[in-house]
Amino acid sequence: MMENEETPQRPAASDAATEAEAVRRSRRAFIGWGLAGLAGLGGWGWLVSRPQEGGIPGPLRRVLEFNENVSGAYFKETRLAPEFARSRATTPRVNGKYGLEDELDPAAWRLRVQSIDGQAREFTLADVQALPKIEMVTELKCIEGWSVIVHWAGARMADFLSHYQLPAAVPYLLLQTPNEKYYVGLDLKSALHPQTLLCYEMNGRRLTPAHGAPLRLVTPLKYGIKHLKRLGSIAFTTERPKDFWAERGYDWDSGH
């Protein structure tokens, strides 16, 4: 299924039946997947942004609190990677080409997101670019011992997951290139970190294929090995997923 940017519509506050339906659907959303349906009624974004409004029935209020707890727990007391002046940004060398072996057709590219029960949804680059554009100037550190300051732009993974109502109640994510030859495991806390971006620009320009076009991960509290280039799929997992460099002796978390 393809998603377009949705303008959340506020359901009529007086329409109890509509709200009851929203509650029913949002419960199901956190169990499995049926999240797209809720989007039509306002969705996760609307629910969490309007907690102050009166007249919200108890069950809906509880859903609100659950959502706030999920996101709040991950944004609180999280260390931030240092940011730098844009003038200090340079272009890193191309390092690591696993998963980039084939030519990529940008028009055919999709980001596939798979829930724990195997259902999948697909997103275009426009779907990602419809989210707030975050820019940050952070250090890309490679375990080989070099580091480069880079000006990145993209969408927060946290915004992507919440806007498109993708389940955030699962402890791990597996990210892979379209051909699945390079793969990175991330814990949910790292995925929801405010500096974890789905990046489409490097130093003010669209990513080049060698740097991961059309979309790559950037997560500056971790070494470069986790910054998967040419992201093709994200799968939610309950067990700690495989990781290309962890299988070759590096630390699975690879934080620094």
Nearer to ligand MTE, 25 or 222 (CB): 222
Residue type, 21: E
Q: Residue 254 binds what, of Mo ion, ligand MTE, none (CB under 5 to 8 Å, by partner type)?
A: none
Instruction: Find the shortest distance in angstroms from Cβ 102 to ligand MTE.
Output: 12
SS3 label, residue 24: helix
Interface residue list for Mo ion (CB under 5 A) = 142, 224
Burial class (CB in 10 A: 0-12, 13-18, 19+), 50: middle
Nearer to ligand MTE, 167 or 241 (CB): 241
Interface residue list for ligand MTE (CB under 6 A) = 92-100, 142, 177, 182, 211, 224-225, 227-230
Q: Residue 33 binds what, of ligand MTE, Mo ion, none (CB under 5 to 8 Å, by partner type)?
A: none
Instruction: Find the shortest distance in angstroms from Cβ 79 to ligand MTE.
Output: 21
Contact 230, 100 (CB under 8 A): yes
Instruction: Find the shortest distance in angstroms from Cβ 226 to ligand MTE.
Output: 7
Nearer to ligand MTE, 18 or 95 (CB): 95
Q: Is the peptide bond before 241 cis (omega within 30 degrees of 0)?
A: no
Instruction: Find the shortest distance in angstroms from Cβ 96 to Mo ion.
Output: 6
- Residue in 214, 230, 153, 222 with CA at minimum distance from that of residue 189: 222
Instruction: Find the shortest distance in angstroms from Cβ 230 to ligand MTE.
Output: 5
Q: Residue 179 binds what, of ligand MTE, Mo ion, none (CB under 5 to 8 Å, by partner type)?
A: none
For the packed helices 16-31 and 58-75, what is the interaxial angle rounded to 10 degrees? 40
- Both tokens of 4, joined, read 């377009």
Q: Residue 227 binds what, of ligand MTE, Mo ion, none (CB under 5 to 8 Å, by partner type)?
A: ligand MTE
Instruction: Find the shortest distance in angstroms from Cβ 227 to ligand MTE.
Output: 5
Nearer to ligand MTE, 71 or 147 (CB): 147
Rounded to an integer, what distance in angstroms lies between the CA atom of residue 222 and that of residue 175?
Answer: 15
SS3 label, residue 209: helix
Rounded to an integer, what distance in angstroms lies between the CA atom of residue 256 and that of residue 242?
Answer: 20
Rounded to an integer, what distance in angstroms lies between the CA atom of residue 140 and that of residue 86?
Answer: 14
Q: Residue 229 binds what, of ligand MTE, Mo ion, none (CB under 5 to 8 Å, by partner type)?
A: ligand MTE
